[in-house]
Amino acid sequence: MELMNPYQVAQQFGLKTLEKSEELSGSKVSLKIGLPRESSADERRIAVTPAGVSLLKANGHDIYVETAAGQDSGFPDQDFTDGGATIAWSAQELYKRSEIILKVAPPAEEEYDYLQQGQAVISALHLGHTTEKFLRHVIAKNITGIGYEFIKSPDNSFPIVRMMHEITGSMAVQIAAHYLENNQDGQGILLGGISGVPPANVVILGAGIIAEYAARTALGYGAQVYVMDNDLARLRHLENALDRRIITTMATPQYISSALQVADVVIGAAMVEGHRAPCWVTRSMVQGMKTGSVIVDAVIDQGGCIETSRQTCHSDPVFTEYGVVHYCVPNIPSNAARTATTALNNLLVPFLLDIGDAGGIREALWTNVSLRNGTYVYKNQLTKKALAQLFDMPYRDIEMLIASRL
């Protein structure tokens, strides 16, 4: 018996990967949406699945997928064409044919010239590594830039950030367990211990979503888990959510320094939404850690919260400093590319349908508060104060730009 691929299952049994159902009612305008292949060899995700393409196509939109764009996440070109997409044989062709570019990572420098005047780009921005050059380029081309990190729902949650952080938190502990092994220059200890042998000490910096899922996974392994934050309410929430199975402390320099001296694993998860991550761990604190202990800086894409961190990649993920193994890969969910792609699809396809129903990007910014919150460049203007402060550039509030009809 021949096994069906996910697209065929979706077609035959009506299953969709979207979290909420959408009626196939046809949109007000037909959007031309491009899904380019990510230029980095370490980025394996694509933003929309073939089932998502099928739903967008059924609502009257044209989807262009660069050849092999979904290959690393388990979705070959044939699945996309079965869903109604058109295959573009180069990035240049795809950018020329698309009104909206939907990416995982922000456009790389080699893609700058492909961007078209007045295009919309929806992607992560990677606040810790974005550049003034990129911002000035998209401003000059009148790009509408919407960043995953900024998309905020009316309830003040960040849905795309949350979804990726759930994956990151879970994977961070798996990664740390691997690098504790002897053949990875670790201490040679088992994260959860065994009968008569105590478990590893896992110190998690921050009490947000990454921290919660890291704590859940570490507890599942059987580790002793410490969570540190400077927000007492968040610590209390996490402690209650995990049935008081974790030890919580305030993230003062004294407490952090003491905890790191006994830590076998440190998960860096301290961050502020829409801003660079705060640096909580100094170089001298890392020097005081045990040889063979492991640091996973899970917010390195936001600049990192540990002074000794520097960005690495999936093909060369670790370095050792002061005898401590550092794992500082910015796109951890890329190593679970199929899960991460499906998660992105669940959240992004409804946004695209809303844009079509509204009549285009400009109209959608009036009606969709999440997309409006996510916009960092609009009408040749920077619209985020945090970016303006970071690069000493002028900015205009997005609400004012929309209201003025510029």
Domain spans of the chain, in order of start: 6-157+336-404, 162-329
Give residue 28's pLDDT band: very low, low, confident or very high (50, 70, 90): confident
CATH topology of domain 162-329: Rossmann fold (3.40.50)
Please, which pLDDT band fits residue 273 given cuts at 50, 70 and 90?
confident
Q: Which residue has the higher pLDDT, 316 or 41?
A: 316
Residue entry with tokens 């894409």: 301
Q: How confident is the model at residue 405 (pLDDT cuts 50, 70, 90)?
A: low
pLDDT exceeds 80 at position 11 = no
Does the domain at 6-157+336-404 match CATH 3.40.190.10? Answer given as no
Mean pLDDT of the chain: 91
User: What is the DSSP pairing of strand 201-205 with strand 224-229?
Assistant: parallel
Share of the chain above pLDDT 70, in %: 93
Q: 25 pLDDT exceeds 70?
A: no
Token output for 126: 């990677």
Known catalytic residue at 126: yes
Instruction: Please compute the mean of the pLDDT values over residues 272-289 and round it to a whole number.
Output: 90
Q: Which of 386, 345, 372 is nearest to 53 (CA)?
A: 345
From CA 298, how far away is CA 277, in angstroms rounded?
10
Q: How far is residue 161's CA from residue 170's CA, in Å, rounded to a whole number?
A: 14
Catalytic residue chosen out of the listed positions 126, 264, 297, 326:
126
Strand partners, 321: 324
Average pLDDT value for residue range 336-348: 96
Check if 6-157+336-404 and 162-329 are the same fold. Answer: yes
pLDDT of residue 301: 85
pLDDT in tens, 168-179: 999 999 999 999
**Structure-model confidence comparison of residues 161 and 64, the more confident one:** 64
Q: Rounded to the nearest 5°, which phi and psi values hold at 306?
A: -130, 130
Strands of 298-397, DSSP E: 318-321, 324-327, 375-378, 381-382
Q: Return the pLDDT at 5.
A: 52
Is 301 in the active site? yes
Average pLDDT estimate for 309-313:
94
Q: Which run of H or E residues covers position 92?
A: helix 91-97
Give pLDDT tens digits for 86-120: 999 999 999 999 999 999 999 999 999 999 999 99
Is 82 in contact with 10 (CB distance < 8 Å)? no
> Does residue 109 contact residue 137 with C-beta atoms inside 8 Å?
no
Q: Average the pLDDT over 312-320 and give the result.
A: 94
The active-site residue, picked from 79, 301, 326, 357, is 301
In 185-329, where does DSSP find H-type helix?
Answer: 209-221, 232-241, 253-262, 283-287
